[in-house]
Amino acid sequence: MEQRLGGVLAGGALGFALAVTIASLATGRPLEIVENLIWVYTSPAPLVNTVLLSVPIAMAAIGLSLSYRARFITIGAEGQIVLGSVAALWATAYSGLEGSAALALALLLPALSGALYALIPFLLRAYAGASEVLTSLMLNLVAVYVTNYLIATYLREGAFVMTRIVPPELRAEWYLGLVMIVAAALSAHLLLTRTRWGLAIEVYGRAPKAAETYGYSARQVMLLVSLLSGGLAGLGGAVAMLSFQHSLTPMSFPPGYGYAGALVAWLSSNNPLAALFASLFFSSLMVFGRSLQAVGVPLSYALAAQALIVLFTLIAVARERQWQ
Amino acid sequence: MLLLERVTVVYPNGLKANDEVTVEIRGGEILALLGENGAGKTTLAKVAAGLLRPTAGSIFLDGEEVRFESYLQALRRGIYYVSQEPQLIEGLTVLEDVGLTLELGGRGRSRGELRRELARLSAKVGLRLEPEALCEDLSAGERQRVEALKPFLLGSRIVIFDEPTTHMSPLEARALGEIMREMRREGKGIVFITHKMKEVLELADRVVVMRRGRVVGELERSRIDEARLLEMMFGEVGRAAKSKGMREPGEVLLELRDVSAAKLRRVSLRVSRGEVVGVAGVAGNGQRELFEVIAGLRRAEKGKVLLGGSDVTSKGPGERARLGLSLVPEDRLGWALVPGLDVATNVYFALNHKRFFLDWREVRRAAESALSLVPIVGSPSSRVESLSGGNMQRLVLARELFREPKVLVAMNPTAGLDHATTVTVREMIVKYSERGGVLLISEDLDELAEMADRIYVMSRGSIVGEHAKPFDLEKIAEQMVS
């Protein structure tokens, strides 16, 4: 853990240096870029944005870290997040419910839809032997296009292709997400280290044959991690909807929180507590990348800078792993 | 012919595998290099064969100092090394693989010529060999055979066999002995690495005994005697596990009735309280499937599996464990033990308690009680993969016996272990059989003869014989290859 953190910091610093250099070259105003960087990490507004963006990423990463520990390599968090946000939108803006009933439904329904959607790759793997990597990846696209269809038809509101908006009184404060990801990371940590389910995940992931021989069912383990990671991702999508998205417009490709979550899970060695911090780091990068646009860096440069930082962090972490 | 003088090899991790070892290899002689696992035998052989450069020391070939920079150089100077698990080239036929080796050794010849020579040679040394068979289809024993023929064609002067009989049936081992004698007649110098006393007594003209990287003794043919050798190998008089006296078997604890699954064909056997029942057979004749069917990892397509009188045919491994089945699988890391977890967790997970919350103090206590059954080097909090192979097996056995099972099913429990651990493991199993039943699936016939009360013989997925004490080992060996 400690060395891993060192690697993340070293790689991140190197990546930042390179990103700042590139952005400076692009604009010819290095001072403003550095000022911008400091602003992102010290001012309330961008910090709140960092927290908001980190919620779907962290929820996905925490669930995926459980999944990957059981060597169930799903990348379906993306689609589960999308469905979760649709479910939360429906519960608050379409269901006709109000107040706490609407809020409760807006958390319950997304968790349920994420978990149910995660059942599909599980069933295909457990009973048909299909690789969860491929099925979950394809299902992400299915989720996106089904959502686009819903936006254009049943959820459509007014002349433009867009949905209703989450009513202001049902929107979540920024700290709700923070509370939720801290709680999720702690619960996942406790599950792994203090319960029979966690033991089953650890044993099955490291030695499937030993797990089966001594009475742990492969299907039960896969089912467990599927439901948990799906439910968490769905909740992440719900909180994103309630706290900053507020409505949906058609997507040409998935928003990327789930993929970022998979990356973060890897970056943090599938440790849920580490995933919490890695998610915050990751979303701060996104905020920094976007803020560069304000000082005149083209969006594509900003995205490239962001990717460079991630890339260097990954290289640093991979090197440390090799030496261990 | 070849003299290794004061050879020292230090591995990058600091392990001194050879410490000033001096050994002379003479023509027309079979030299046995005897020692426990980890004594440094293979390291020395690799130095001789150019696979490893020594940290210090010299090599003399016919009195002239040589420095082998590669395996190829040694090969061309007439030294052939047959590794413990020969890697023939997948995708090539036997003929092509042999041809390639000859080409590398500077003795290439045409396909037709090679085919004729191979046929002549295999007739001469009495080995059947299918030149058009694909290398990946050969058993470990057959691979050894192909390797054993190569030095004749290469004209090698020195041949080193590294534990060649590990995967061989007794008949195959005997055939290999004949090949070595033939090589000796041709004046080659043969080095035969082994830790099996019996093979040394049968074949060796001279024995060099190694222990902890050093040569601790050397005996000429006339002075070879088992007690002396054991003493040299282990530093004390080596003990053999005591076979227990006859005991009346109790009630039937494990029974298979006409079980068929995958390779298995109508297998019936029973194990009663108080007995050790052996299953003998050449590797790959359905023993693994048998283990899996008993464990509940593989479904019996036909027939019944009974455990303590109740039908468990459709029950999973967890249910069977609760009914008193303990398992010692043949692979330690990854099957019996979980890498990446500590020793305590490795004990606890297999006990498979149903309680939802774990209490780590209790986990540690369980581990400590299990470990009190047998001393292992390593604390409950050390990672399981940091243990040596011997300690891993001690751990597995301690854990499985701690569960107080009715039946213990073990597969090749001493394969690859040194003598001291082998003795401990066998003693633990035999002692346990006073309280329960043991099914011992093993490729080591000597082990079965020493421990078992009854022996089933398995061949091509069927039980082809059942033997009671005193065992007729010749007959058993014959049935094994039927």
Sketch the domain layout of chain A as residue ranges: 1-29+298-324, 30-294
**Separation between Cα atoms, residue A84 and residue A255, nearest integer Å:** 13
Q: Which residues of B32-61 are buried (b: 16+ CB within 10 A; e: fewer)?
A: bbbbbbbbbbbbbbbbbbbbbebeebebeb
Say yes or no for a CB contact (<8 Å) between B337 and A214.
no
Please state whether beta strands B158-162 and B189-194 pair in parallel, antiparallel, or not at all (unpaired). Answer: parallel
Task: Confirm or reject contact between A196 and chain B (CB < 8 A).
Answer: yes
Nearest to A181 by CA among A264, A98, A117, A78: A264
A contacts of B316 (beta carbons < 8 Å): 215, 217
What is the model's pTM? 0.75
Are the beta carbons of B5 and B59 closer than 8 angstroms? yes
| Summary mean pLDDT of chain B | 86
Residue type, B136: E
Torsion of CA B32, B33, B36, B37, to 10 degrees: -120
What pLDDT sits at residue A5?
Answer: 67
Say yes or no for a CB contact (<8 Å) between B334 and A207.
yes
* Lowest mean per-residue pLDDT among A38-42, B197-201, B417-421: B417-421
**Separation between Cα atoms, residue B432 and residue B326, nearest integer Å:** 12
| Boundary of a domain, candidates B201, B234, B267 | B234
Say yes or no for a CB contact (<8 Å) between B334 and A209.
yes
| Boundary of a domain, candidates B176, B204, B234 | B234
Task: Please count the structural domains in chain B.
Answer: 2
Q: Which residues of B161-170 are buried (b: 16+ CB within 10 A; e: fewer)?
A: bbbbbbbbbb
Nearest to B96 by CA among B115, B68, B79: B115
What is residue B410's three-state secondary structure?
strand
Mean pLDDT, residues B382-390: 82
Backbone angles phi, psi at A10, to 5 degrees: -65, -50
Torsion of CA B407, B413, B419, B421, to 10 degrees: -60
Nearest to A136 by CA among A249, A261, A241: A261
**Separation between Cα atoms, residue A65 and residue A185, nearest integer Å:** 10
**B244 pLDDT above the threshold of 60:** no
Nearest to A75 by CA among A265, A219, A282, A216: A265
DSSP annotation of B21: E
Residue type, A14: L
What pLDDT sits at residue B317?
Answer: 92
What is residue B5's three-state secondary structure?
strand
Whether B244 maps to a domain, the answer reads no
**Separation between Cα atoms, residue B123 and residue B118, nearest integer Å:** 8
DSSP lists the bridge partners of residue B59 as B4, B66
| Same domain, residue pair B260 and B227 | no
Q: Which two tokens stand for residue B164?
A: 């060649």
Whether B102 maps to a domain, the answer reads yes
DSSP annotation of B13: T
Helix pair angle (A218-240, A77-89), 10° resolution: 50
Task: Confirm or reject contact between A219 and chain B (CB < 8 A).
Answer: no
A residues 252-311 closer than 8 Å to B (CB)? none
Residue type, A62: I
Name residues whose C-beta falls within 8 Å of residue B112's C-beta, 6 or more positions apart in sequence. Answer: none
pLDDT band at B245 (very low <50, low <70, confident <90, very high): low
Where is pLDDT greater, at B134 or B388? B134
What pLDDT sits at residue B247?
Answer: 62
What pLDDT sits at residue B36?
Answer: 73
DSSP annotation of A277: H
Say yes or no for a CB contact (<8 Å) between A214 and B355.
no
Degrees to nearest 5, angle at CA B407 with B404 and B410: 105
Whether B464 maps to a domain, the answer reads yes
What pLDDT sits at residue A1?
Answer: 47
Q: Which two tokens stand for residue A104?
A: 């409760």
Q: Which residues of A290-324 are buried (b: 16+ CB within 10 A; e: fewer)?
A: bbbeebebeeebbbbbbebbbebbbebbeebeeee
| Same domain, residue pair B212 and B306 | no
Identity of the residue in A199, A206, A217 whose CB atom sits nearest the CB atom of B339:
A206
pLDDT tens, residue by residue, A261-273: 999 998 888 999 9
What pLDDT sits at residue B176?
Answer: 86
Whether B243 maps to a domain, the answer reads no
Task: Confirm or reject contact between B323 and chain A (CB < 8 A).
Answer: no
| Same domain, residue pair B15 and B141 | yes
pLDDT band at B14 (very low <50, low <70, confident <90, very high): low
What pLDDT sits at residue B242?
Answer: 43
| Same domain, residue pair B272 and B226 | no
Q: Which domain holds residue B182?
A: 2-234
Nearest to B399 by CA among A56, A210, A87: A210
Are the beta carbons of A185 and A30 closer than 8 angstroms? no
**Separation between Cα atoms, residue B119 and residue B125, nearest integer Å:** 10
Beta-carbon contacts below 8 Å between A and B: 75
Q: Which two tokens stand for residue A309?
A: 């930082």
Backbone angles phi, psi at A307, to 5 degrees: -65, -35
Nearest to B139 by CA among B116, B171, B100: B171
**Separation between Cα atoms, residue A51 and residue A177, nearest integer Å:** 8
Interface probe with B: pick from A214, A219, A224, most Cβ of B within 10 Å: A214
Q: Judging by beta carbons within 10 Å of its beta carbon (0-12, 13-18, 19+), is residue B319 exposed, middle or buried?
A: middle
Are the beta carbons of B47 and B59 closer than 8 angstroms? yes
| Same domain, residue pair B167 and B300 | no
Task: Give just the sign of the alpha carbon dihedral B428, B432, B433, B438.
Answer: negative
What radius of gyration do chain B's Cα atoms show?
A: 24
Say yes or no for a CB contact (<8 Å) between B355 and A196.
yes
Q: Which residues of A179-215 are buried (b: 16+ CB within 10 A; e: fewer)?
A: ebbeebbeebbebbeeebbbbbbbbbbbbbbbbbbbb
List helix spans (H) across B186-281. 197-203, 226-234
What pLDDT sits at residue B241?
Answer: 42
Residue count of chain A, please give it.
Answer: 324
Q: What is the nearest CA distance from A238 to chain B, expressed in angstroms?
A: 30
B contacts of A216 (beta carbons < 8 Å): 318, 349, 352
B contacts of A206 (beta carbons < 8 Å): 338-341
B contacts of A211 (beta carbons < 8 Å): 338
* B426 φ/ψ sector (left φ>0, alpha ψ -120 to 50, else beta): alpha
pLDDT tens, residue by residue, B76-105: 899 999 887 777 888 888 889 988 888 888
Whether B98 maps to a domain, the answer reads yes
pLDDT band at B238 (very low <50, low <70, confident <90, very high): very low
Torsion of CA A48, A50, A55, A58, to 10 degrees: -140
CA distance readout (Å), A57 to A1, A51, A53, A260, A324: 20, 10, 7, 6, 28
| Boundary of a domain, candidates B203, B234, B265 | B234
Residue whose token pair is 């920094």: A288
CB count within 10 Å of CB A246 equals: 19
Residue of A nearest to B353 (CA): A196
**CATH at residue B391:** 3.40.50.300
- What string of pLDDT tens digits covers the 324 residues of chain A? 445 667 767 777 888 888 888 888 878 888 888 888 899 999 999 999 999 999 999 999 999 999 999 999 999 999 999 999 999 999 999 998 988 999 999 999 999 999 999 999 999 999 999 999 999 999 999 999 999 999 999 999 888 888 999 999 999 889 999 999 999 999 999 999 999 999 999 999 999 999 999 999 999 999 999 999 999 999 999 999 999 999 999 888 788 899 999 999 988 889 999 999 989 988 988 888 888 888 888 878 777 877 887 788 778 877 776 654
| Same domain, residue pair B68 and B205 | yes
CA B87 from centre of chain: 17
B residues 350-369 closer than 8 Å to A (CB)? 350, 352-358
**Separation between Cα atoms, residue B73 and residue B42, nearest integer Å:** 19
Say yes or no for a CB contact (<8 Å) between B321 and A206.
no
DSSP annotation of B221: G
* B151 φ/ψ sector (left φ>0, alpha ψ -120 to 50, else beta): alpha
Whether B241 maps to a domain, the answer reads no
| Same domain, residue pair B312 and B203 | no
Task: Confirm or reject contact between A321 and chain B (CB < 8 A).
Answer: no
What pLDDT sits at residue A251?
Answer: 87
Identity of the residue in A196, A206, A212 whose CB atom sits nearest the CB atom of B297:
A212
Look up the ipTM and state it.
Answer: 0.84
Say yes or no for a CB contact (<8 Å) between A212 and B356.
no
Nearest to B265 by CA among B465, B1, B19, B462: B462
Residue type, A139: L
Are the beta carbons of B464 and B457 closer than 8 angstroms? yes
Whether B305 maps to a domain, the answer reads yes
Say yes or no for a CB contact (<8 Å) between B338 and A203.
yes
According to the CATH classification, is domain A30-294 in 2.40.160?
Answer: no
Degrees to nearest 5, angle at CA B252 with B246 and B254: 110
Residue whose token pair is 């706290």: A243
Task: Confirm or reject contact between B337 and chain A (CB < 8 A).
Answer: yes
CA A156 from centre of chain: 27
Identity of the residue in B319, B331, B340 whose CB atom sits nearest the CB atom of A206:
B340
| Same domain, residue pair B414 and B335 | yes
| Same domain, residue pair B202 and B311 | no
Q: What is the nearest CA distance from A208 to chain B, expressed in angstroms?
A: 8
